Chains A and B, each alone.
Chain A
């Protein structure tokens, strides 16, 4: 309860800070809009030339895309800015003030800063999702599985990003890694069958883009591969365990940069 309250306070502070630049707040729709338009136009153009992409039609591709976009923006609303800031805080010595707080350091590192403005384009992802839903219809079992696997995917993604950020204790210029992970997770918005074997394994087990985006989307469409669903559940615990291990190893290694 204490952490939920604290999270809401941080959310309010960051929201007020962003409202200083109101036009920029609304302008977030420009990049998000162009990305949505770009993807949709690309897929639509391709599907005007060939009947399907690895067996997937336009509505199915849109479903994958909307889940990918929702997941992407959620990371920014919740923790992504904080994790980007973390390596910098170590470099500048600001991390000392975070460690001294009488709350979980992992919590503060993860949720100190948010970007509320990206919640605006999340509406776009929801609208595309709604369109795809209108095509597929709603099956409540599938809907339940979808939310369950979406939450699992988000937890796995957070643990994964946090583990990458924790490497800052050893390698200071790690920010590019988080951005690289972002890109690779984006490939989860494409059908698994399009990837050759080793790439599919990489995207499922190493950088689990497929687990984060593809698996929940297929659950909604009623074409879930149960092995992947089970793997998603397993990875929630494994990723949490690994992230905690690396985080604590890093904390033990940390010595202040400030004088």
Chain B
């Protein structure tokens, strides 16, 4: 479906590329005044923004909208009457949808390599790549569960477009999509450590760049796994409560 609309795919890719280029331009201007900021030099910051953009391509908040649409339209009844696990169905659907988008991610990376051959820092070892992939799988699940959780709010609030958009922005801001979390004052970083959002972007980049010590990797994986399990339980609870409230007829 995504490739059928080639121009849309192209325009979305342009949007992603332009946003990365903009941040590069902004930081080039900033690094003219100082060569290192909180452990980041210009190369590291460019790598950071390219990576968070690529990581962002892996995620989709669309399940939250799909659940909202299914509840409002009554289409959810179709799934309930079939032997389908809606949580798993939405997860696989979301994963499939990302395939086309990931092709674009690859394109962005290749283009970035061509434009910034001296800026991009590659992972220093296979271990970093493996750690990055494991964290990425956990983070994808975390993101999906957050989307599913927000989607289930539609059982109570009907239209949730603005809530969805707000939560998505919050996850980006508190996860490190706008600015590396390491640049925030320590008191903000301490607060963010209590939340799951840093695992969505910032932590993944650190894993890629090999900036996580072995103990950080171990602790990070355990804490993220706890978040994934907790959110899974929360999603199931919300779903059960929502279904009890849900009414549909016809079709």
A27 touches B166 (CB 8 A): yes
| A residues whose Cβ falls under 8 Å from a Cβ of B | 21, 23-25, 27-35, 37-38, 41-42, 45-46, 48-54, 117, 171, 173-177, 179-180, 183-184, 187, 190, 194-196, 199
Taken residue by residue from 162 to 176, chain B's Cβ proximity to chain A (1 for < 8 Å, 0 otherwise) reads as 110111111011000
Number of A-B residue pairs, CB cutoff 8 Å, is: 105
Taken residue by residue from 1 to 25, chain B's Cβ proximity to chain A (1 for < 8 Å, 0 otherwise) reads as 0000101100110110011001001
The 3 A-B pairs of least Cβ separation, nearest first, read A30-B166, A176-B11, A27-B162
A27 touches B160 (CB 8 A): yes
Question: B9 — nearest CB in chain A belongs to which residue?
Answer: A176
| B residues whose Cβ falls under 8 Å from a Cβ of A | 5, 7-8, 11-12, 14-15, 18-19, 22, 25-26, 29-30, 33-34, 37-38, 157-163, 165-170, 172-173, 178-179, 183-185
- Given A21-B158, A41-B173, A49-B183, CB of A34 within 8 Å of CB of B166: yes
Question: A46 — nearest CB in chain B belongs to which residue?
Answer: B30
A50 touches B37 (CB 8 A): yes
- Interface on chain B toward A: helix, strand, loop, or mixed SS? helix
Q: 23 A-B contacts, Cβ less than 8 Å apart?
A: A23-B158, A24-B160, A27-B157, A27-B160, A27-B162, A27-B166, A30-B170, A31-B168, A33-B166, A34-B173, A45-B179, A45-B183, A46-B183, A49-B183, A50-B30, A50-B34, A52-B33, A53-B26, A53-B29, A176-B15, A177-B11, A184-B18, A196-B25
A45 contact set on B, CB distance < 8 A: 179, 183-185
CA distance A31 to B150 in the complex (A): 14
- Interface on chain A toward B: helix, strand, loop, or mixed SS? helix
Please pick, from B7, B161, B162, B170, the residue contacting A176 in the complex, using a CB distance under 8 A: B7
B166 touches A54 (CB 8 A): no
CB proximity of A31 to chain B, nearest CB, Å = 4
B166 touches A179 (CB 8 A): no
A52 contact set on B, CB distance < 8 A: 33
A42 touches B37 (CB 8 A): no
B33 contact set on A, CB distance < 8 A: 50-52
A175 contact set on B, CB distance < 8 A: 8
Question: A28 — nearest CB in chain B belongs to which residue?
Answer: B162
B184 contact set on A, CB distance < 8 A: 41, 45
B185 touches A24 (CB 8 A): no
Please pick, from B14, B29, B157, B163, the residue contacting A180 in the complex, using a CB distance under 8 A: B14
- Given A24-B157, A45-B184, A51-B33, CB of A179 within 8 Å of CB of B15: yes
CB proximity of B15 to chain A, nearest CB, Å = 5
CA distance A252 to B30 in the complex (A): 50
A34 contact set on B, CB distance < 8 A: 166, 169-170, 173
- Given A21-B158, A49-B37, A180-B15, CB of A30 within 8 Å of CB of B173: no
CB proximity of B34 to chain A, nearest CB, Å = 6
Most buried by B among A41, A175, A176: A176
CB proximity of A6 to chain B, nearest CB, Å = 27
Please pick, from B37, B159, B169, B183, the residue contacting A21 in the complex, using a CB distance under 8 A: B159
CA distance A196 to B172 in the complex (A): 27
A195 touches B25 (CB 8 A): yes
B12 contact set on A, CB distance < 8 A: 176
Please pick, from A21, A37, A174, A199, the residue contacting B7 in the complex, using a CB distance under 8 A: A174
Please pick, from B5, B18, B158, B167, the residue contacting A30 in the complex, using a CB distance under 8 A: B167
CB proximity of B38 to chain A, nearest CB, Å = 7
CA distance A29 to B166 in the complex (A): 8
Question: A186 — nearest CB in chain B belongs to which residue?
Answer: B22
